[in-house]
């Protein structure tokens, strides 16, 4: 065995393998020790320590016997006969060497096993998923402020079980190649194809059979008038659920299956097929709208069948991109933008929806637009409340940066949500999905003449519609008394 070791260190390949393995082992053990002591490692250090270094460690182990084998072949070609090692366990020295070899082998197995475990742990962290700059920055940013920001990416994108774990890692290999060679599309297309069914992921935490019943929802928007007047819509959502599948969650009730034929983006739905809990099947085909009489129904070419599940309505449960109107209304409602500033909602919308090439350009452009408006139209307010005006500009800039990513060609409306539907009285917003109305449009009709209803009371009861002081909220004690829009100070009566 000593002779074999001496031959090993005499071969360049074997010596290189020994150096690579030993160095990798020392670094892996060092980082692993720091990890066990509670020191947080960055995603990149984790990749190096538990993915790249273990690969080098194993490579070094393979190089050592390969070097011995090549050295033996060279000796045989030169006419020398190298004897094979003789393992005589009756000799104490030989037993010690065998035990040493076995101990080193066990140590190698422990190192590889620990590194493999940590590699999986590192790759399951959201920080690892978001470590591909430019490509994943928008998604990781949206994830970080979502309702699922404390849920690891793998719980939704992979779920339990070894099969999908292996499948995801194979898919991730191609994604790594795409990022390295700059082959990825911009923006990332949605919906994600071949996503694991939500019954294996979403339903690990959410149960459609749980009875939710009715839920009150208050939607606050602001007008574009001088006071940015708040208007409230109050809905009683019939979420439903339960074993009988009432309300909105009837779509995923036990025994109920809905399939639909749609385009790849699932925006245009041609056919809906409902199988109820009694096994009865009913198909609803889209018909030409009255205004388009004589025109054929949408072609089925390029359309695919899909079984409906949670993400067909909740298509942005985590990576949520908001509209400009939503961001401004939320900031005003939250007090981050002061509604006492005249026309702040209108001017904010103008500033935030302009085209900017980068976040730096957006900050400069939005700041210039907002500050410039108040400096010109309301110089006294700008002088007295310049800090408030600048804070509004900063909030608008941050809202822009959360939703617009020029390097990935993501802008307002690139990733619309299918949850709900637009206000029928509002102006259409670019990129906004019609949501529920993809099917509930009174235009998908069965052979018996039954249509998928668009009745307003089907999924919710409208208790107030764009009202300043809804009576229902007053009666429930949910309407807060608002301070004067001018903060108790009379605003200068100045034109635009």
The per-residue pLDDT for range 271-286, each reduced to its tens digit, is: 999 998 889 999 999 9
Q: Smallest Cα–Cα separation from 356: which of 417, 403, 414?
A: 403
Structure tokens, 459: 């999924």
Domain membership of residue 420 (yes or no) is no
- Structural domains counted in the chain: 2
Per-residue pLDDT reduced to its tens digit, 30-55:
888 887 777 766 667 777 888 888 88
For residues 308 and 440, membership in a common domain is answered with yes
The answer to whether residue 386 is domain-embedded is no
User: What CA–CA distances, in Å, run from 320 to 201, 314, 404?
Assistant: 18, 10, 12
Q: Compute the distance between CA of residue 371 and CA of residue 373 in angstroms, rounded to an integer.
A: 6
Beta carbons within 8 Å of 418's beta carbon, 6+ residues apart: 266, 312, 313, 314, 315, 316, 433, 435, 436, 438
Find the length of the chain. 496
Residues 117 and 253 in one domain: no
50 belongs to a structural domain: yes
The last residue of one of the domains, among 102, 123, 144, is: 123
Tokens of 77: 């070609």
Which residues, at least 6 apart from 9, have a Cβ–Cβ distance to it below 8 Å? Answer: 15, 18
- Asked if the peptide bond before residue 405 counts as cis, ω within 30 degrees of 0, the response is no
**From the centroid of its chain, how far is CA 412?**
17
Beta bridge partners of 462: 235
Higher pLDDT, 146 or 15: 146
- Which of 113-127, 290-304, 374-388, 423-437 is predicted with the least confidence, judged by mean pLDDT? 290-304
Q: Name, of 46-60, 121-135, 180-194, 400-414, the range with top average pLDDT.
A: 400-414
- Residues sharing a CB contact under 8 Å with residue 13, sequence separation 6 or more, in sequence order: 63, 66, 67, 70
Among 395, 412, 426, residue whose Cα is nearest residue 321: 412
The whole-angstrom separation of Cα 400 and Cα 403 is 5
Distance between CA 239 and CA 209 in Å, rounded?
11
**Contacts within 8 Å (CB) and 24+ apart, 249-258:** 249/208, 249/212, 251/308, 251/313, 252/208, 252/308, 252/309, 252/310, 253/208, 253/209, 253/277, 254/208, 254/209, 257/307, 257/308, 258/307, 258/308
How far, in whole angstroms, is CA 322 from its chain's centroid? 13
In terms of domains, do 93 and 235 share one?
Answer: no
Q: Is 108 part of a structural domain of the chain? A: yes
Segment of 122-131, 336-345, 431-440 carrying the highest mean pLDDT: 336-345
Residue 407 banded pLDDT, cuts 50, 70, 90: very high
What is the percent of the chain with per-residue pLDDT over 90, rounded to a whole number? 43
In a domain, 376, yes or no: no
In this predicted structure, what is the pLDDT of residue 427?
Answer: 65
310 lies in the same domain as 440:
yes
Q: Which residue has the tokens 């999986």?
A: 120
Q: What is the pLDDT of residue 32?
A: 80
Tokens representing 377 are 């139209």
Nearest C-alpha neighbor of 425 from the set 369, 477, 466: 466
Residues 6+ apart with CB under 8 A from 402: 141, 142, 145, 322, 327
Whole-number average pLDDT of the chain: 85
Q: Are 6 and 117 part of one and the same domain?
A: yes
CB-based contact 285:270 (threshold 8 Å)? yes
Over 50: is that where the pLDDT of 491 sits?
no
* pLDDT surpasses 60 at 477: yes
- Residue 184 CA to chain centroid, in angstroms? 17
Asked if residue 380 belongs to a domain, the reply is no
What does the pLDDT read at residue 296? 64
Residue 495: the pLDDT is 38
* CA–CA gap between residue 314 and residue 187 (Å, rounded): 20
Q: Final residue of a domain: which of 99, 123, 147?
A: 123
CB-neighbour burial class of residue 447 (10 A; exposed 0-12, middle 13-18, buried 19+): exposed
Residue 268 contacts by C-beta under 8 Å, 6 or more apart in sequence? Answer: 262, 298, 303, 438
Q: Quick one: pLDDT at residue 490?
A: 41
Residues sharing a CB contact under 8 Å with residue 132, sequence separation 6 or more, in sequence order: 175, 179
17-22: average pLDDT? 87
- For residue 304, give its domain range: 213-315+435-476
Report the SS3 class of residue 282: strand
Does pLDDT of 489 surpass 50? no
Going by pLDDT thresholds of 50, 70 and 90, the confidence category of residue 329 is very high
**So what's the pLDDT on residue 473?**
92
The closest of 323, 264, 313 to 418, measured between CA atoms, is 313
**Helices (H) then strands (E): counts for the chain:** 15, 8
Q: What DSSP state is assigned to residue 241?
A: B
Q: Based on the fold, state whether residues 78 and 223 are members of the same structural domain.
A: no
Instruction: For residue 131, tell me if it sits in a domain.
Output: no
Give pTM, 2 decimals: 0.78
Give the domain-ending residue among 69, 97, 123: 123
Strand arrangement of the beta sheet that strand 213-222 belongs to: 213-222, 230-240, 460-467
In a domain, 359, yes or no: no
Confidence band (pLDDT; 50, 70, 90) for 456? confident
482 Cβ partners below 8 Å, 6+ apart? 230
Most confident range, picked from 18-27, 209-218, 369-378? 369-378
What's residue 496's pLDDT?
Answer: 39
Q: How many Cα atoms occupy the beta-carbon half-sphere of 381 within 13 Å? A: 29
């Amino acid at each position: 065995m000593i002779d074999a070791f001496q031959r090993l260190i005499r071969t360049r390949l074997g010596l290189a393998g020994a150096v690579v393995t030993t160095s990798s082992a020392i670094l892996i053990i060092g980082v692993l020790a720091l990890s066990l002591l509670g020191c947080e490692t960055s995603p990149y250090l984790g990749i190096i320590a538990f993915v790249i270094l273990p690969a080098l460690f194993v490579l070094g182990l393979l190089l050592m016997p390969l070097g011995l084998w090549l050295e033996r072949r060279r000796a045989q070609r030169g006419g020398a006969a190298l004897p094979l090692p003789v393992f005589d366990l009756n000799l104490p020295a030989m037993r010690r060497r065998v035990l040493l070899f076995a101990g080193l082998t066990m140590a190698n197995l422990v190192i590889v096993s620990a590194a493999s475990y940590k590699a999986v742990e590192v790759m399951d962290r959201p920080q690892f998923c978001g470590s591909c700059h430019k490509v994943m920055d928008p998604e990781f940013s949206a994830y970080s402020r979502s309702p699922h920001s404390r849920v690891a990416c793998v719980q939704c994108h992979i779920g339990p079980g070894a099969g999908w774990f292996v499948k995801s890692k194979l898919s991730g290999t191609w994604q790594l190649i795409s990022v390295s060679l700059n082959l990825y599309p911009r923006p990332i297309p949605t919906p994600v194809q071949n996503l694991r069914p939500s019954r294996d992921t979403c339903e690990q935490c959410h149960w459609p059979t749980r009875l939710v019943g009715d839920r009150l929802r208050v939607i606050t928007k602001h007008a574009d008038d001088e006071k940015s007047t708040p208007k409230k819509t109050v809905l009683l959502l019939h979420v439903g659920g339960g074993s009988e599948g009432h309300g909105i969650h009837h779509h995923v009730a036990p025994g109920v299956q809905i399939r639909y034929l749609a385009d790849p983006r699932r925006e245009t739905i041609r056919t809906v097929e409902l199988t109820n809990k009694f096994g009865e099947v009913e198909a609803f085909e889209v018909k030409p709208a009255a205004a388009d009489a004589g025109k054929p129904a949408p072609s089925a070419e390029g359309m695919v069948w899909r079984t409906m599940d949670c993400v067909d309505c909740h298509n942005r449960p985590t990576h949520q991109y908001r509209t400009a109107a939503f961001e401004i209304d939320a900031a005003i409602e939250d007090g981050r933008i002061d509604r006492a500033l005249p026309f702040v909602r209108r001017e904010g919308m103008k500033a935030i929806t302009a085209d900017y090439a980068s976040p730096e350009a957006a900050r400069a452009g939005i700041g210039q637009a907002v500050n410039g408006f108040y400096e010109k139209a309301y110089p006294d307010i700008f002088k007295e409340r310049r800090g408030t005006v600048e804070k509004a500009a900063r909030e608008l800039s941050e809202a822009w940066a959360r939703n617009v990513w020029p390097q990935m060609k993501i802008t307002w409306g690139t990733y619309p949500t299918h949850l709900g539907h637009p206000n029928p009285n509002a102006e259409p917003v670019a990129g906004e999905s019609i949501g529920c109305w993809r099917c509930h449009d009174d235009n998908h009709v069965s052979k018996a003449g039954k249509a998928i209803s668009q009745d307003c009371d089907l999924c919710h009861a409208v208790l107030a519609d764009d009202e300043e002081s809804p009576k229902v909220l007053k009666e429930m004690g949910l309407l807060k008394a608002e301070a004067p829009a001018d903060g108790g100070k009379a605003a200068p009566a100045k034109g635009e």
